[in-house]
Structure 1
């Protein structure tokens, strides 16, 4: 935890109010000091893909040998609470976002591209009196630990944290699985001997590049089908998974045990969906798909596959624009597909057109 520095009597008076909130002290500035935050800090910081704003601000302060409170003062006014980024996401006002970009030495557009939490949809309301906040829970997404080797390559030895739509992350470069368990004894799971998990993530990545925004709702539907089949209830089907579950807990191991099946389901759904969205799905291919998919995955998947199949009939006119740089309007997509265009942190339960969805790991705060 970061300690709040004491106020000295020689202070210029801009810091004047100390109040208690939920048994924690908050230091509020009477007004913003417009001189602060206009010049960048001495040392710039390399970005981590998917990093949370709170993690980035914490790393930026450490990179420049400053307390986090010092960086926050240069970003505007707000509560100086000793919150660490593994607990929640940090949200900024437009003013604080501009100041943070100045301090970091990047443009606002560059910061928005690299840090999801700085995009307009996650900004604080213009009516808020503070310039940042650390809510008890992230408004969207999960806080997941970053691969420590990736973080080290970007100049940090302390843990870094990502904000992701799912409660896990697979680093294909270093073959590591991280999640939101906050375990200090086992901060990651080594995938060196879990090749099926690596191949499953590679498969999902390829589908994401091929399907674009549709890949996310296809994955959401695959999650829902997996749940409905009952396959989800038995994650440790081999001695290998049972041993890992005994060491780390069944709930933490469950997503790894399910990922291979989940990626194969996603691949089969994607085969039909991409042809449907391009308007190239004929009735013969449509009918044959259900028999082929049921045979491949087994009888327990028959009913949920049939339900999904009935909701994804061939379109008389596809929407190939979905795969171009200019996506069609959301209402067009919703009317044709039954799905919403996914936002960057949309959870699978928000995207699936099926009623049974939950993630293989449904517990957000495993560290409590």
Structure 2
């Protein structure tokens, strides 16, 4: 296969696909070894192309070559392949190189329903994500790990599918900062789960019974996901007010808005549990996200402009710079995969 061969079979990339996965499937649809296609990208290698362990890194020239080989526009590949424009290539002279996956990225097997829907007979795609899991809303699957057998059906868990849709809307509305807020919200919900607070004995216990994964830490993000998205949405409201030096609901100037914490409890339908201990995790978060503008200066500020609640936000402290991976984005001291013994 060559960029000059007009009879090459084109291929569209799957949204979120790893570049190495796309290269492997493009080679497969043309009946070629991956090494032949990589050679056309200026990359000579004898190694098998395994998307789970290695990624094809492209510079601008390499992306143009791949687009020509695939018979697609560069803009399509930039939109569909998340690493195509975000991972650096060491040498400008070489259009491509093959390297190990950097920290912060996880490779997940594509949902089986998505593979079957394409009906092209090609191998499943591999997805490059900035978290250790992903949800497929179309087919109701929770993707976790490189083995498709590890995928979890979301049948009977409509709240999880609806929460993922709300998360996508939040990210479109807030921008990249939403990733940090979701990371914080997951840590807060994880704290509640480990300390048996909030929904541990009610909604989360019911969800665990549906999954058949009772008190299993590896299922924690899935179990608490709907409530974590609700908390992330509330955190976005808090942060929009904070960036203008204002407390939630025009509360009195101070470090912590207890009105906001009560409001979160009401949104979760867990106001009583919030008042009886659940507030502590959110209190820690608000201390990390307190308003530092002096009170006199805050009172002298003009009102925010119309429409300030709808635009994307720039990351605020303590989330500067903003890490790429979801699991690395939280400002809280505990993590989902570790024990929670105390709060500062």
State the TM-score, normalizing by the size of structure 2. 0.75
Query: Do the aligned residues in 1 keep the contact of 2:191 with 2:281 (CA within 8 Å)?
Result: yes
C-alpha RMSD of the superposition:
3.6
Which residue of structure 1 lines up, in the alignment, with residue 342 of structure 2?
A: none
How far the C-alpha of 1:162 sits from its partner, in A, is 0.7
In structure 2, relative to structure 1, the CA distance for the partners of 1:161 and 1:48 (3 Å cut) is same
Which residue of structure 2 lines up, in the alignment, with residue 238 of structure 1?
A: 205
Query: Do the aligned residues in 2 keep the contact of 1:37 with 1:102 (CA within 8 Å)?
Result: yes
Measured in 1, the distance between the counterparts of 2:125 and 2:216 equals 25
- Given candidates 143, 146, 150, the residue that maps to 1:178 is 143
For structure 2, list consecutive stretches of 5 or more residues without a partner in the other structure: 339-344
Measured in 1, the distance between the counterparts of 2:54 and 2:261 equals 42
Q: What is the aligned residue count?
A: 312
How far the C-alpha of 1:246 sits from its partner, in A, is 5.6
- Given candidates 84, 98, 113, the residue that maps to 1:133 is 98
How far the C-alpha of 1:352 sits from its partner, in A, is 2.3
In structure 2, relative to structure 1, the CA distance for the partners of 1:153 and 1:110 (3 Å cut) is same
Query: Do the aligned residues in 2 keep the contact of 1:93 with 1:123 (CA within 8 Å)?
Result: yes
Residues 1:263 and 2:229 aligned together: yes
How far the C-alpha of 1:159 sits from its partner, in A, is 1.7
Query: Do the aligned residues in 2 keep the contact of 1:89 with 1:143 (CA within 8 Å)?
Result: no
- Given candidates 151, 155, 170, the residue that maps to 1:192 is 155
Task: Provide, for residues 243-298 of structure 1, a one-character-per-residue CA deviation record: whole Å limited to 9, x for no partner.
Answer: 74469x93543322121232222232223223333566423493411233356353
In structure 2, relative to structure 1, the CA distance for the partners of 1:348 and 1:77 (3 Å cut) is closer
In structure 2, relative to structure 1, the CA distance for the partners of 1:110 and 1:80 (3 Å cut) is same
Query: Do the aligned residues in 2 keep the contact of 1:178 with 1:188 (CA within 8 Å)?
Result: yes
Query: Do the aligned residues in 1 keep the contact of 2:186 with 2:221 (CA within 8 Å)?
Result: no
Residues 1:224 and 2:209 aligned together: no
In structure 2, relative to structure 1, the CA distance for the partners of 1:77 and 1:213 (3 Å cut) is closer
Task: Provide, for residues 203-240 of structure 1, a one-character-per-residue CA deviation record: whole Å limited to 9, x for no partner.
Answer: 22232233222211111111222344453889895366
Which residue of structure 2 lines up, in the alignment, with residue 65 of structure 1?
A: 31
How far the C-alpha of 1:164 sits from its partner, in A, is 0.7
Measured in 2, the distance between the counterparts of 1:233 and 1:164 equals 30
Which residue of structure 2 lines up, in the alignment, with residue 283 of structure 1?
A: 251
Measured in 2, the distance between the counterparts of 1:240 and 1:350 equals 26
Which residue of structure 2 lines up, in the alignment, with residue 353 of structure 1?
A: 331
Measured in 1, the distance between the counterparts of 2:43 and 2:195 equals 47
Instruction: After the TM superposition, list the runs of 4 or more consecutive aligned residues in structure 1 that deviate by more than 6 angstroms.
Output: 127-130, 232-236, 317-323
Query: Do the aligned residues in 1 keep the contact of 2:319 with 2:329 (CA within 8 Å)?
Result: yes
Measured in 1, the distance between the counterparts of 2:4 and 2:244 equals 49
Residues 1:162 and 2:127 aligned together: yes
In structure 2, relative to structure 1, the CA distance for the partners of 1:95 and 1:212 (3 Å cut) is closer
In structure 2, relative to structure 1, the CA distance for the partners of 1:39 and 1:114 (3 Å cut) is farther
